[in-house]
Structure 1
């Protein structure tokens, strides 16, 4: 630049001319096409709907109906439980016309709910206490546990938390012992009312259930300050306690805490079909007639805009839920088509499956498949499974080109551990060797990982557990 500048001047070019040519600035308009994804509020809501199971969808639609006067929602019927009635601000509750026992479907006194509510009436005589007792009983799980927070019950009933806690203490005298417990330790303690002189020792044992699970017998003896024979007696008493006392009031089987979202079954022609569980889905409808009437009565622009926006939101939500249901059916049907061997014969026939395989089959993106399968469950002849359970990696197998499903391998590991000799539990190396001999190419660390995923203790921990379960415990 310094060498070129004198030469330019020698040709008769002025300084301004030189600088103008070197620093020319111009403005030009250019057109370019570019694709980009814009997440509108409606698109965000549509994605959210894909992430909801039927129960969560019902809650979402119910909340939307509270804010939108043109959205009509018919909620699915609740199979158990009774509506909670708010208490009055005074000390007494008007019980006229309110008989929770009469609201039960079965009044023969044989159902779980009927027996629990009958005990509420026996244990509570005060009207206010009974109202709280009915509310607590309506939230009782079939296992006998109470998983609802007392603060939520008190807020719903406009009652004091201390009063709800006092009623709960009275209800915990119900039979079988352990009903209305809020966790495992409380459930076991409630069953120690007649433990006599051993009650204090048993409470210490229950406080250290983690040591019992680990089979740490010497440490347990130090905690309880007892000898081998005494510890053996305490452990026998612990095994006699029932962690699920509510099952004694039913038929011995716990009903699902949540109904499935989808159902897979064989139709009359023997073909597999998939349906949504409509008993858990809300029925929504847009009240177009009310919208027309309201538009005729209002005259302000702001009111017209509100009506127009509310109707548009209601129509969009109806279409979005319909699309969500269709997508769920489409994805579930493809999963059922691919996993027919599992549905017919059981876990050992589970095939390896990836999200991309279902996405390519139904013409959707992998992220959409991931969202649909994140929370939905499906009832099958083999049991109720989350849709995520049908996806697993492939393990190399000599007898199959596509390999074996990781779920099938995990099932084999569970079966092997269940059938192992108690005096010599199988180590991870032993399980690995057995699987390799069956043609499955799997490493020991993979066996250890699957064992931990299924919460199966190590061989040494299982050995101690077997020793504790034996009639004669060698501490």
Structure 2
């Protein structure tokens, strides 16, 4: 029998307000995207205004103080300053009690103003600019042309590099000029990353296979050689010509023929082949020049020991709500429409000021825990990179994993070893055979490569099974197929192929 009746039911549900959705997106914006969003808000909201940071302004907080306004955190002997762990569960641990309409301070607090690291080479660049998606959630399409850097970075992401080799590749790409030539010093990059020159050269050799052919060469002869090798036209005579390009520039064809040991006909063909090559492989890419990334966090050695972590003042928009102007326009409002508009502007301004403040503190908190976890990497190099995941960091600082994931997206940290995306420090773990601490997968890859690099001195070649035995003797529990996978990712031939190469070499 059908009928109507009235029932009362009690239940729980999570309602995500438009302001909360915007807050979540605000947390994961890069500094360039955040700046564009803030500029749009300044134009839209007459009660907001930008407050320029005072020159040289830097606020430090006591190392062990329970201070919610901490400007920096200092680690000494593995101890981390206690930070605010109270976050609102309704907002998925994103912004605590930062909600529109709440009373906040007039001035956004200066969190973590620090000095820029001098002489650090940025290993990556920022992505496309732009603010938040519009009210309907549609992102604006990016119609600009791809830059040379973006083209190379995309290929590096697909090259099956290990995390550290990927960072090396991006550092090399950062040193490429508009013509496609590598201008960085390999020895300096190796020294800064705490690795061998041979490893940087091995990564560069892979990058030399990127398109366009000849890109990332260190000289014109090397650029032309890469293109000739691809066309299967590189031979001793052509090698000699590339070594004597000065004679070709002087049109000293007789001297060039004598140096190369060819006749006039062969010389004419060789010159025609050179003319078909591209001496500036990067010149064909348009678009705006790629901008160097501005780190969100600076890490520097503390003279007292440990590391000092500071937010970069250049990436922190400092906004205030003009309460005096708010009072004037509120008093002058006559109609309900005007009063509603002023009230909405005041609520939005108050929320944005507080949200930016909380965003900065959240980035500082996550970055500080990552630095604490990866102290050995900063001190000794890539071989000491610890296994780390989002849950470990989230549990340590009392946040949700999704919050840590958002914070580490498009955020960069400047360290004495270079500039890295925060996600770089998250690596897989390999169990210890003796029940001790786990080992970073990247550190194990580095050890495998070092073992294989040491082959040939005594005529012995290590099989994958032998590598497994050696690693287990040192406390690393790893399967043979995992060793094979890491070896292939490092582009190292099998033991049979390496033994054949030693015999023929």
State the TM-score, normalizing by the size of structure 2.
0.51
Q: Deviations over 1:351-392 (max 9, x none)?
A: 222222222221111111111112222223333322222222
Q: What does the per-residue CA deviation read over 1:58-97, in whole Å, with 9 as the maximum and x for residues that have no partner?
A: 22212222322222236899xxxxxxxxxxxxxxxxxxxx
2:322 & 2:372 partners in 1: Cα distance?
39
Match of 1:63 in 2: 40
* Correspondence for 2:478: 442
Equivalent residue runs for 1:212-223 within 5 Å: 220-221=231-232
The yes-or-no answer on 1:73 pairing with 2:53 is: no
CA contact (8 A) 1:143 1:244 kept: no
C-alpha RMSD of matched pairs (Å) = 4.7
In structure 2, C-alpha distance between the alignment counterparts of 1:234 and 1:24, rounded to whole Å: 95
Task: Determine the structure 2 residue equivalent to 1:27.
Answer: 5
- Give the CA deviation at 1:440: 2.1
Alignment of 1:372-387 (within 5 A): 372-387=407-422
1:45 corresponds to which of 14, 19, 22: 22
Deviation at residue 435 of structure 1 after TM alignment: 3.6
Is 1:397 matched with 2:432?
Answer: yes
Counterpart of 1:229 in structure 2 is: 236
Aligned to 2:351: 316
The question of whether the paired residues in 1 share the 8 Å contact of 2:413 and 2:422 is answered with yes
CA distance in 1, matches of 2:447, 2:241: 35
CA deviation vs aligned residue, 1:273-310 (integer Å, no higher than 9, x gap): 32111123222222222222223334232233222212
TM-superposition CA deviations, 1:403-424 (whole Å, max 9, x none): 1111212332454566666999
Q: Is the 8 A contact 1:144 1:244 kept in 2?
A: no
Cα distance between partner residues in 1 of 2:478 and 2:241: 42
Partner secondary structure for residue 459 of structure 1: coil
User: Are 2:172 and 1:145 equivalent residues in the alignment?
Assistant: no
Whole-Å separation in 1 of the counterparts to 2:334 and 2:308: 52
**Contact 1:394 / 1:402 at 8 angstroms: preserved in 2?**
no
Is residue 262 from structure 1 mapped to residue 262 from structure 2 by the alignment? no
C-alpha contact (below 8 Å) 2:455/2:461 kept by paired residues: yes
Partners of 2:341 and 2:486 in 1: CA distance: 56
1:280 and 1:419 map into 2 onto residues whose CA distance is 45
Tell me if structure 1 keeps the 8 A contact 2:390–2:405: yes
- Structure 1 unaligned spans of 5+: 1-22, 78-135, 148-182, 212-219, 246-254, 468-473
Quick one: structure 1 residues 287 and 402, their matched pair in 2 at CA, closer, same or farther if it must change by over 3 Å?
same
Contact 2:179 2:280 in 1 (8 A): no
1:76, 1:281 within 8 Å by CA — same for their partners in 2?
A: no
CA distance in 2, matches of 1:427, 1:208: 36
Taking the aligned partners of 1:271 and 1:449, their CA distance within structure 2 comes to 36
SS in 2 for 1:264: strand
Map of 2:362 onto structure 1: 327
Residue 354 of structure 1 pairs with residue 389 of structure 2: yes
C-alpha distance in structure 2 between counterparts of 1:287 and 1:337, whole Å: 39
Q: CA shift at 1:243, angstroms? A: 8.6
Q: Relative CO higher for 1 or 2, CA cutoff 8 Å, sep ≥ 6?
A: 2
Write the distance in 2 (CA, Å) between the matches of 1:444 and 1:237.
49
Q: SS at the partner of 2:236?
A: helix
How do 1:88-167 residues align onto structure 2 when only pairs under 5 Å count? 143-145=176-178
Question: Aligned in 2, Cα 1:190/1:443: closer, same or farther, shift over 3 Å?
Answer: closer
Q: Is the 8 A contact 2:432 2:476 kept in 1?
A: yes
For the residue of structure 2 that corresponds to 1:289, the secondary structure is: helix
Greater Cα radius of gyration, structure 1 or 2: 1
Deviation string, structure 1 residues 294-348 (Cα, Å, up to 9, x no partner) = 2333423223322221222121111111111111111122222233333333333
Say if 1:65 and 1:364 are closer, same or farther in 2 by CA, change over 3 A.
Answer: same
**Counterpart in 2 of 1:457?**
491
Paired position in structure 1 for 2:324: 289
Tell me how many residue pairs correspond in the alignment: 315
In structure 1, the partner of 2:99 is none
Cα distance in 1 for partners of 2:439, 2:358 equals 34
- 1:342 counterpart = 2:377: yes
Residue number in structure 2 paired with 1:364: 399
Kept in 2, the 8 Å contact 1:352–1:402? The answer is no
Normalising to structure 1: TM-score of the pair?
A: 0.54
